[in-house]
Structure 1
Amino acid sequence: MSDINSLLSHAVPAVGAAVSAYGAGVLTRAEDEAAMATVRLGQRLLDRILRRTPDPAPIEAAVTDLAETGEDSDALAALRFQIRKALLADPSLMAEVAALLPERPEARAEGERSVAVAGDMAGIVSTGDGATNVQPR
C-alpha cells in the first residue's frame, strides 16, 4: 500500500477515532486495554508518526484542534493534511505506517452483472439493460 491517498484514507480515520475517544490526551495516554481495536490502532499510528516526524508540533496542533471541535470535518481534514506532509517527507515512515494497517480484502464480484469495487468509488455503477444514468453536476 504505497499510494499516499489510499494510505491516508485508512490511517486518518483510525487516528481520528483515537482523538475522538481520548481528546488531546491521545498524545500522551498509554494504551488502554479496554479500548476498541480501531482506537488502539489509531494510537499506534499516531505514536509512530509523532516519534518519527522531525517537527511533530503541526500534527499535535491538528490533533488538539480536532479534539476541541469534536468530529468537525475541517479539523479532520487539517489532521489528514499534516499526516500526509509527514508521510510524503519520509517514505520509510510511510512504509512503516502501511505495515501497521490491516490488509483490506480484495473486492470480488460473483454472478452475472456483478460489480466489485476495491477502494473508494465515486460515480455511477450501472449494469442494467437500457438504464439511463444521470450524474448530478
Structure 2
Amino acid sequence: MLEIDTLLDQIVPAAEAAVVAYGVSVLTRAQDETAGATVRLGQRLLARILNRGADADADPVRVTVTSLADAGADRDMLALRRAELRIALREVLRDSPGLADELSAMLPERPAVQADAERSVALAGNNSGIISTGDGAKNTLHQ
C-alpha cells in the first residue's frame, strides 16, 4: 500500500479532472467513452470512494466535489476547493485503510526512474520549473 500522502498525490488530480470535466454530474454520471484517461480514472476513483457506504448527504467527499464543481473559473476558489477535496480524501483514507489498498490497486503503474550519471536528474512526472546541475550554474526565469 502507498502512503496516504503519496496516494493523494495520485488520486486528487484524477478526481479533479473528472469534476472539472463533468461538474456535479460526476457524482452520478456513467463512465463516458469520450473522456480522457485521467478523467475516466477520476470517475472510477470517485465512484469507489463515494460508494463505500457513507451517508450520501453527509459525505464530506461528495460535499467537496460539489463545492469544487461550483467554484467556476475563480482561481482562488479553485485552489481552496482543491485543498478541501484533498483534506476530505485524506480523512476518508485514514478512516478506511482497506479503501486505500483498493484505490492503490486502481492506479496505473508509475514508471521507474533512475539517474545514473554524476549530476544527472531523474524525473518521473512533469516539471514546470528549472532543473539545474553543475558548478556555478546561473538560472534566470523570464516571465
User: Where do 5+ consecutive residues of structure 1 fail to align?
Assistant: none
Give the equivalent residue in structure 2 for 1:30: 30
What secondary structure sits across from 1:52 in the alignment? coil
Contact persistence 1:45–1:97 (CA under 8 A): yes
How does 1:100-115 map onto structure 2 within 5 Å?
100-115=106-121
1:18 aligned partner, one-letter code: A
2:60 corresponds, among 58, 61, 70, to 58
Conservation of the 8 A alpha-carbon contact between 1:14 and 1:41: yes
CA displacement at 1:54 relative to structure 2: 2.5
1:40 has 2:40 as partner? yes
Partner of 2:96: 90
Instruction: Count how many residue pairs are aligned between Structure 1 and Structure 2.
Output: 132
**Alignment partners' CA distance in 1, 2:53 and 2:122:** 37
Displacement of 1:87 in angstroms is 0.8
Residues 1:94 and 1:113: Cα distance change in structure 2 (over 3 Å): same
- Summarize deviations over 1:18-73 as a string: whole Å, max 9, x none: 00000000000011111111111000000001111524521111011000003611
Could you tell which deviates more after superposition, 45-54 or 93-102? 45-54
2:14 and 2:132 map into 1 onto residues whose CA distance is 32
- RMSD over aligned Cα atoms: 2.5
Aligned residue type for 2:96: D
Give, in angstroms, the shift of residue 130 of structure 1: 4.7
Q: Percent identity?
A: 55
